[in-house]
Amino acid sequence: MRWVVGVDVGEGHHGALGFVAWGARSGLLERGNVVAVHVLEEEHLRVVLRLHHLDEVTTAAREAAERTLSRQGVTLPLEIVTDVEASDGLAAAAGRLHAEAIVVGRHAGLDGTGLGRLGRIARRTLRELAVPVIVAPHDLTPEAVGGGPVLALSSLGEDSIEAVRFARRLADWMGRELVVAHAVRVPTDRSALEEWTAANGVRADHLRIVEGSVLVRAPRLATELQAPILVAGSRMLTSIERQLDTSVGSELAAAAPLAVAVVPPKRRGPVMGF
């Protein structure tokens, strides 16, 4: 798998690199499979270019990003790019490099607390969702990544198909089992989940039915299983729809005590990064 990881040169927000460092230490990520990208946003450039040449700004940004990578113990190819927003730059890099996922950090830590839990960059990257986006708590370390199976959530709808298939690829790549879970409000058996996975060609090692809110039960199940990552689909809600309905993927990405991958549904025509 090839990933693009966003590099934040600020202090104390390096969970994305912590997740990548775990992959490197586990022998999953070889050089070239992950590319680090630091985005210089145009609004910032308009200010600093009044006093400095672009070459100076780019060189300083590269040095700061390299120091950040070194402190986190990871050695990665590094690109410094310019775009309107950091999320735009990451999506463009993912498309150009044919990456299967973008890895970003969030403002909230493992405990999921704090104002603006996702942060601007993670929130915008999730809304655009050009490719699957993996969101890591800002204080995630390689040691905190679980040693259990990959956990994927199914709504039994079309929005979950690509998510569970992505989770299967992740599980195979990691050498882990795949657990597919479905949350229900009232007790039921797992026959519907069995039919859904079979109909969509998904090979799950275990199926789980959990009772209650998916936003509560999914993180608990992930903790119980010691999952390294939780995978959810996206309904690609518009801004207006988000005001009226909950985006489960984004809510989990904002608060779950582990890395969360949010995967877009299959679209017609070419999709960036695939």
Assess if residue 268 is contained within a domain. Answer: no
Which CATH number do you get for residue 109?
A: 3.40.50.620
Domains identified in the chain, total number: 2
Q: Which of 122, 140, 158 is the last residue of a domain?
A: 140
Instruction: Quickly tell me which residue has 């070459």 as its tokens.
Output: 55
Residue 32's pLDDT is 67
Assess if residue 219 is contained within a domain. Answer: yes
23-51 tens-digit pLDDT: 888 877 766 689 999 999 998 888 888 88
Q: Which of 140, 164, 180 is the last residue of a domain?
A: 140
Q: Are residues 21 and 86 in the same domain?
A: yes
Q: What is the pTM assigned to this prediction?
A: 0.91
Cα dihedral: 171, 176, 182, 186 (round 10): 180
Assess if residue 47 is contained within a domain. Answer: yes
Length of the chain: 274
Weakly modelled stretches of the chain, pLDDT under 50: 240-245, 268-274
Q: Are residues 24 and 116 in the same domain?
A: yes
Assess if residue 121 is contained within a domain. Answer: yes
Q: At what angle do helices 214-225 and 248-255 cross, to 10 degrees?
A: 50
**Is the CB of residue 148 less than 8 Å from the CB of residue 225?**
yes
Assess if residue 70 is contained within a domain. Answer: yes
121 phi-psi bin (left φ>0, alpha ψ -120 to 50, beta other): alpha
193-223 tens-digit pLDDT: 999 999 999 999 999 999 999 999 999 999 9
Q: Are residues 133 and 187 in the same domain?
A: no
Rounded to an integer, what distance in angstroms lies between the CA atom of residue 205 and that of residue 150? 10
The DSSP letter of residue 265 is P
Q: Are residues 122 and 42 in the same domain?
A: yes
Q: Are residues 82 and 165 in the same domain?
A: no
**Is the CB of residue 92 less than 8 Å from the CB of residue 4?**
no
Closest CA to 23 of 106, 111, 103: 103
Q: Which of 115, 140, 165 is the last residue of a domain?
A: 140
Q: How many CA atoms lie within 13 A of 267 on its CB side?
A: 15
**Is the CB of residue 206 less than 8 Å from the CB of residue 194?**
no
Domain encompassing residue 172: 146-263
Assess if residue 227 is contained within a domain. Answer: yes
Q: Are residues 131 and 220 in the same domain?
A: no
Residue 10's pLDDT is 80
Q: Are residues 192 and 108 in the same domain?
A: no
Q: Are residues 130 and 153 in the same domain?
A: no
